[in-house]
Amino acid sequence: DTAVSQTPKYLVTQMGNDKSIKCEQNLGHDTMYWYKQDSKKFLKIMFSYNNKELIINETVPNRFSPKSPDKAHLNLHINSLELGDSAVYFCASSQEPGSTQYFGPGTRLLVL
């Protein structure tokens, strides 16, 4: 009965690889988000989708590409991984833009 789930929970990979992180919410929400949390716990939004449409796109390298196949899913694909991509990535969802956000447990990405 997990509200916002992410897979995988941990991801260890080599520089230059391509990887994807999946997010699913079973709350019936219209809006989903991706955040990056660095090693100092600083949290910054990357993308936001509302009804599968991109509404927030922060200054993020083109190597990061979100995809929302339906309102319940927002996946994050990362090409050519770099050391600096190591972080915890959080997915979140809300009923609509501006309403309370519910966060997933995070995906801990380590790039070697």
Partner 1 sequence: GDSVTQMEGPVTLSEEAFLTINCTYTATGYPSLFWYVQYPGEGLQLLLKATKADDKGSNKGFEATYRKETTSFHLEKGSVQVSDSAVYFCALMKTSYDKVIFGPGTSLSVIP
> Interface residues with partner 1 (CB under 8 A)?
4, 40-45, 48, 55-56, 58, 90, 92, 96-101, 103-106
Nearest to partner 1 of 64, 90 (CB atom): 90
Nearest to partner 1 of 84, 98 (CB atom): 98
Per-residue tokens: 59: 């200054």
Nearest to partner 1 of 13, 103 (CB atom): 103
For the CB of residue 71, give the shortest distance to partner 1 in the complex, in Å: 17
For the CB of residue 80, give the shortest distance to partner 1 in the complex, in Å: 26
Per-residue tokens: 58: 């922060």
Reference 45, options 92, 95, 111; nearest CA is 92
Measure the CA–CA gap between 99 and 35, rounded to whole angstroms.
Answer: 16
Measure the CA–CA gap between 44 and 71, rounded to whole angstroms.
Answer: 22
